[in-house]
Amino acid sequence: MAMQDDHIITPRRTRSGQTSQASFSRAEARGPVIDQEGREIPVDRTDPQFHGFHFEFGGTTFAPLNREQRLARLEALAKLLDVAFILPGTNIRYGIDGLIGLIPVVGDIITTAISLWLVREARALGAPWHVTARMLGNVAVDGVVGLVPLAGDAFDVMFRANVRNVRLLRRWLEKQPRI
């Protein structure tokens, strides 16, 4: 299918005379919407209210996770961060939170950011403010005390803020009626 010249969008010039790369809005775009393989996407599928989004990669379909799958993902991440390994010859469990925390300041910032992502996911699952506040408190204690060299790392191993936070979320979810 050959396109006519009136379907070509010419780049706009800015005040400085340079060409603007993305200067048109959706309302200005004309013609069909084409996917990466050159197929036309129907207009009803480009509607911003389309909620059935999924994509395929190598024959595997990726769809949005349900509540139980998201909670299982959070639990797996919390276990990896806090209790994934056992100190040989002892019964002491530690995770990558304790290992990354050995890097001064930067390690604690990284692990605190991951812990904050867990809290954000809990909020996305519908956790109320009082549960999220307790979770944020656990992250704050873990992050601040973790900044202390060596003693903070030992505290990180024993406190296990991420496992505590997932346990708080799980308890709250168990009290909620199933929809």
Under-50 pLDDT residues of the chain? 6-9, 20, 23-27, 46-51
Amino acid at 63: A
Quick one: DSSP state of residue 139?
H
CA angle 160, 90, 164 (to 5 degrees): 15
pLDDT on residue 160: 93
pLDDT on residue 83: 93
pLDDT on residue 46: 46
Segment 142-146 long-range contacts (CB within 8 Å, at least 24 positions apart): 142/97, 142/111, 142/112, 142/115, 143/108, 143/111, 143/112, 143/115, 146/101, 146/108, 146/111, 146/112
pTM: 0.64
Please state whether beta strands 33-34 and 60-62 pair in parallel, antiparallel, or not at all (unpaired): unpaired
- What is the rounded CA–CA span in Å between residue 170 and residue 158? 21
Which residue, 21, 25, 2, 1, is CA-closest to 11? 21
- pLDDT tens digits, 18-45: 554 554 444 455 666 666 666 777 665 5
Which residues have CB under 8 Å from 70's CB, separation 6+? 121, 124, 125
